[in-house]
Structure 1
């Protein structure tokens, strides 16, 4: 039968392994988002615009957004934090979070990077 210190050590090792797995998943998600943005940046630098030249596809994507949500999204695309967006627009961070939640819902995305990619007219599936 295992001794108490051995069991405690086993639990600690197991907990750390679980943390490592979760960290790995989060890191893969971040790397995927960085890849999407890098792909978008390269496409923009080359001038390879897969979207509608008139910009109508982008307009359709953004049409459900309010003027303020578009302003928040614009700040988001510039890499601003919630705090920076709040200061820039003269609103609270809580209001920024509410706008972001509405933007994510309206654009059908789950995170900041996907919202920016979609708003810029790319689906991120290159």
Structure 2
């Protein structure tokens, strides 16, 4: 039979685990919403006339991406992992990595976060 301090500790651990699960669900929902907004912003940049030279350059760079690279970038903006992107687009993880390398090269960045930031037109470098 478990002692009282053991039960108290078990209850505390269980409560923290439940809280972590709820936090995780809320975080996923927020990330999904951010991803949807990021996708909308990327779509808007691709479909509208640029208002300034920097935006015109970004629009040109985004238009140089292939359809599949744009799909990968969209999933990237939603926070998907390489595995999730591969499953969603029904391609291999190696193919996802190849697309990411091409995206990074075309956008002139070196990582996932920078690619999304630049695609959203928020690169202040």
Count of aligned pairs: 106
The alpha carbon displacement at 1:12 in A equals 0.6
TM-score normalised to structure 2 length: 0.51
* Structure 2 unaligned residues grouped into runs of 5+: 76-84
C-alpha separation in 1, matches of 2:62 and 2:45: 19
C-alpha separation in 2, matches of 1:21 and 1:101: 30
Hey, what does 1:66 align to over in structure 2?
none
TM-score normalised to structure 1 length: 0.51
| C-alpha distance 110-17 of structure 1, shift in aligned 2 (>3 A) | same
CA offsets per residue over residues 56-95 of structure 1, 9 Å max, x none?
54445677xxxxx84640453687x525453xxxxxx032
C-alpha separation in 2, matches of 1:62 and 1:42: 12
Structure of greater relative contact order (alpha carbons < 8 Å, 6+ residues apart): 1
C-alpha separation in 1, matches of 2:74 and 2:35: 15
The alpha carbon displacement at 1:21 in A equals 2.3
CA RMSD of aligned residues (A): 4.3
Structure with more helix by fraction: 2
| C-alpha distance 124-18 of structure 1, shift in aligned 2 (>3 A) | same
Alignment map for 1:79-90 (pairs within 5 Å):
81-83=85-87, 84=89, 86=91
